[in-house]
Structure 1
Amino acid sequence: MIYIHKRIVKIATGTKSQTINICTEDNIHGEYDYILRIMDSKQFTSYDELTVKQFSSIDDLINSIQKDHHGIMEKSSGKTEQVISILDEAKENIHYTEKPSEWEEKAKEIVEKSIDQFILDFIDFPYLHRVEHSIHCELYNILSNGRLLGNQYPLGDHSISQAVHKEWPEYKPRPEKGNRRGNFDLSILSPEQLKRSTIKDFRYGRIKPFIAMELGLDYKLDHLDQDLYKLKNSEIQYGYLIHLIREQYVSDHFNDMERFILEEIHDPVKVAYARISDSMIYYKLVQDKDIKAIPIR
Structure 2
Amino acid sequence: MSQAIIDAMDIAINRLVDGFIANPWLHRVEHSLHCELFMLLKESHALSGVMEGKGFTTQLVHKEWPEPQKSGTRPRRGNFDLAVLKPTAQNWGLDDFRYGRAPLVAAIEIGLNYSLRHLQGDLRKLQESGVPNRYLIHFATPRCRSQKGVIEAVLDLIEKEQPNRLKIAYVDHSQNVLRKLGDTEISSITTE
Residue 131 in structure 1 maps to residue 26 in structure 2: no
Instruction: Report the residue type matching 2:50 in the other structure.
Output: Q
Quick one: distance in 1 between partners of 2:150 and 2:44?
Answer: 35
Residue 259 in structure 1 maps to residue 155 in structure 2: yes
Q: Which secondary structure does the structure 2 equivalent of 1:135 belong to?
A: helix
Which digits, 9 at most, give the CA deviation of each residue in 1:86-113, with x for residues without a partner? xxxxxxxxxxxxxxx3xx2110010011
Q: What is the alpha-carbon root mean square deviation over aligned residues?
A: 1.9
Matching residue within 106, 112, 135 for 1:217: 112
Structure 2 contact 133–166 (Cα < 8 Å) conserved: yes
Once the two structures are TM-superposed, the CA of residue 282 in structure 1 deviates from its matched residue by 1.3
Residue 208 in structure 1 maps to residue 106 in structure 2: no
Residue equivalent to 2:87: 191
Instruction: Report the residue type matching 1:183 in the other structure.
Output: N
Residue equivalent to 1:44: none
Residue equivalent to 2:59: 162
Q: Which secondary structure does the structure 1 equivalent of 2:189 belong to?
A: strand
Residue equivalent to 1:105: 3
How many residue pairs get aligned? The number is: 189
Once the two structures are TM-superposed, the CA of residue 191 in structure 1 deviates from its matched residue by 1.9
Mind listing any 5+ residue stretches in structure 2 that lack a counterpart?
none
Structure 2 contact 65–100 (Cα < 8 Å) conserved: yes
Q: Which secondary structure does the structure 2 equivalent of 1:191 belong to?
A: coil
Structure 1 contact 228–241 (Cα < 8 Å) conserved: yes
Instruction: Report the residue type matching 2:20 in the other structure.
Output: F
Mind listing any 5+ residue stretches in structure 1 that lack a counterpart?
1-100
Residue 122 in structure 1 maps to residue 20 in structure 2: yes
> What percentage of residue pairs aligned between the two structures are identical?
35
Choose between structure 1 and 2 for higher RCO, CA contacts under 8 A separated by at least 6 residues. 2
Structure 1 contact 271–286 (Cα < 8 Å) conserved: yes
Quick one: distance in 2 between partners of 1:233 and 1:254?
Answer: 21
Q: Which secondary structure does the structure 1 equivalent of 2:136 belong to?
A: strand
Q: TM-score, normalized by length of structure 2?
A: 0.89
Residue equivalent to 1:290: 185
Structure whose CA Rg is larger: 1
Quick one: distance in 2 between partners of 1:255 and 1:109?
Answer: 26
Once the two structures are TM-superposed, the CA of residue 229 in structure 1 deviates from its matched residue by 0.9
Residue 270 in structure 1 maps to residue 167 in structure 2: yes
Structure 1 contact 163–188 (Cα < 8 Å) conserved: yes
Structure 1 contact 171–207 (Cα < 8 Å) conserved: no
Q: TM-score, normalized by length of structure 1?
A: 0.59
